[in-house]
């Protein structure tokens, strides 16, 4: 047997293995996607359901019934298990630099339990979109000939497909959207947590720590209202009031980025896309009835609108977060 024959057999054997594994995964794609769907729904309803529960009971004046450290206590078991694997001597430490706390180890509580489930939800949504996009890239039950339609085929009306959220480009757009959401929640969680329980000043006279926001994360972050008021609104005061100061650049970026981010929603929600679909439907009906159509399409397609929208969304969101955090850090460290 020649060397070329052995090489060909080896390549054929491994190609067969890869094809078999790939065929098995694709053949079971409905099962994989279905399991990801119900796990994502479970995480979403339970994570945000608890927040809605806390907001409702807080508005009714029943703080003792809130899911919190002082009410119904819940702690993240998995995170505590991971922390327990660390050296016992390193679980109680504080690192100082010029009397300022740089890092320290903190005990996890109910607030961490809630936000960790939000992280799990956003990660699973992103994973679901990516997995579904890969496994249904060439065909699906709804669109069997997807491989012949290309990467970015339109979905603007019955004359051009009639379906949305099914092309590979739709999955790419949604994955980018949810990747940003996942990263944004993680950044906001970390930033509020370190201000509340880690960053601060060590007073040698009273032998005590004074954190920037005084440990309000574990108390306040258990409600959606607190995330909007205690964190986003209250801590944005530095960048909002920066006009006319040395930090005015951050304020201008913050203002322009907010406009850019808000403008993106017009494209992402496809308000003009529905008019586009109406135009396409009229064209389709005229062609179907063999009428001569003189209508010229002038609006963006939904696919084009989403491209513009997700670009504005990412640029506006990143710029807003960047200016918000930097202006806050500059204000509290001077």
Q: Lowest-pLDDT range, 47-56, 228-237, 324-333?
A: 324-333
Assess contact for 99 and 201: CB atoms under 8 A. yes
From CA 125, how far away is CA 129, in angstroms rounded?
6
Show contacts of 204-213: CB within 8 Å, 24+ apart. 204/99, 209/94, 209/101, 211/101, 212/332
Q: Which of 79, 74, 80, 77 lies closest to 50 in space, CA to CA?
A: 74
Q: Which tokens sit at 240?
A: 């909002």
pLDDT of residue 119: 94
Q: Lowest-pLDDT range, 97-106, 108-117, 245-254, 318-327?
A: 97-106
Q: Which residue has the higher pLDDT, 160 or 252?
A: 252
From CA 281, how far away is CA 284, in angstroms rounded?
5
Q: Which tokens sit at 281?
A: 């439907």
Q: Which residue has the higher pLDDT, 205 or 185?
A: 185
Pairing of strands 200-203, 208-211: antiparallel
pLDDT of residue 272: 46
From CA 265, how far away is CA 65, in angstroms rounded?
37
pLDDT of residue 323: 93
From CA 104, how far away is CA 92, in angstroms rounded?
8
**Across the chain, what does the average pLDDT equal?**
79
pLDDT at 229 > cutoff 80: yes
From CA 25, how far away is CA 282, in angstroms rounded?
41
**For the whole prediction, is pTM greater than 0.75?**
yes
pLDDT at 205 > cutoff 70: no
Q: Which tokens sit at 161?
A: 């497909």
Q: Which tokens sit at 246?
A: 């040395």
From CA 204, how far away is CA 307, in angstroms rounded?
55
From CA 312, how far away is CA 325, in angstroms rounded?
20
- Rounded to 10°, the helix 271-288/302-333 angle is 170
Q: Which tokens sit at 104?
A: 């320290």
Q: Which of 120, 146, 119 lies closest to 133 in space, CA to CA?
A: 146
Instruction: Report the alpha-carbon angle 126-131-134, nearest 5.
Output: 125
In this prediction, residues 264-271 reach a mean pLDDT of 72
pLDDT for 294-303, tens place per residue? 655 556 677 7
Q: Which residue has the higher pLDDT, 149 or 179?
A: 179
In terms of C-beta density within 10 A (0-12 exposed, 13-18 middle, 19 or more buried), how is residue 48 classed?
Answer: middle
pLDDT at 105 > cutoff 70: no
From CA 160, how far away is CA 297, in angstroms rounded?
13
DSSP single-letter state for residue 88: G
Grade residue 226 by pLDDT with cuts at 50, 70 and 90: very high
pLDDT for 14-45, tens place per residue? 555 456 777 777 777 888 888 999 999 999 99
In this prediction, residues 237-252 reach a mean pLDDT of 88
Grade residue 87 by pLDDT with cuts at 50, 70 and 90: low
H-type alpha helices, the chain: 3-27, 29-59, 77-84, 110-135, 146-149, 168-197, 217-220, 224-226, 237-240, 248-268, 271-288, 302-333
In this prediction, residues 246-256 reach a mean pLDDT of 90
From CA 113, how far away is CA 54, in angstroms rounded?
14
- Name every residue whose Cβ is closer than 8 Å to that of residue 175 and which is 6 or more positions away in sequence: 126, 129, 130, 133
pLDDT of residue 271: 47
pLDDT of residue 69: 82
Q: Cα 102 vs. chain centroid, distance in angstroms?
A: 28
In this prediction, residues 151-171 reach a mean pLDDT of 72
């Amino acid at each position: 047997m020649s060397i070329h024959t052995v090489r060909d057999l080896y390549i054929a054997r491994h190609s067969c293995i890869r094809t078999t594994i790939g065929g098995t995964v694709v053949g079971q794609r409905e099962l994989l996607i279905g399991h990801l769907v119900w796990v994502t729904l479970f995480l979403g309803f339970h994570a945000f359901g608890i927040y809605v529960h806390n907001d409702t009971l807080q508005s009714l004046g029943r703080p003792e019934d809130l899911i919190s450290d002082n009410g119904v206590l819940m702690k993240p078991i998995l995170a505590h298990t991971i922390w327990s694997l660390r050296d016992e001597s390193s679980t109680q430490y504080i690192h100082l630099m010029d009397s300022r706390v740089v890092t320290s180890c903190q005990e996890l509580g109910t607030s961490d339990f809630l936000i960790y489930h939000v992280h799990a939800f956003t990660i699973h949504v992103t994973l679901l979109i990516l997995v579904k996009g890969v496994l249904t890239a060439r065909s699906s039950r709804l669109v069997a000939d997807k491989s012949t339609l290309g990467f970015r085929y339109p979905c603007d009306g019955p004359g051009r497909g009639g379906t949305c959220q099914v092309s590979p480009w739709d999955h790419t757009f949604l994955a980018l959207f949810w990747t940003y959401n996942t990263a944004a929640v993680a950044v906001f969680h970390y930033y509020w947590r370190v201000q509340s329980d880690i960053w601060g000043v060590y007073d040698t006279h009273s032998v005590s720590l004074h954190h920037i926001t005084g440990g309000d994360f574990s108390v306040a972050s258990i409600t959606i209202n607190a995330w909007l008021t205690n964190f986003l609104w209250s801590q944005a005061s530095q960048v909002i009031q920066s006009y006319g100061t040395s930090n005015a650049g951050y304020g201008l970026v913050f203002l322009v980025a907010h406009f850019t981010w808000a403008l993106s929603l017009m494209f992402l929600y496809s308000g003009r896309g529905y008019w586009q679909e109406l135009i396409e439907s009229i064209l389709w009906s005229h062609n179907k009835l063999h009428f001569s159509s003189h209508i010229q399409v002038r609006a963006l397609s939904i696919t084009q609108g989403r491209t513009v929208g997700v670009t504005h969304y990412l640029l506006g969101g990143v710029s807003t977060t960047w200016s918000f955090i930097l202006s806050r850090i500059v204000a509290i460290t001077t």
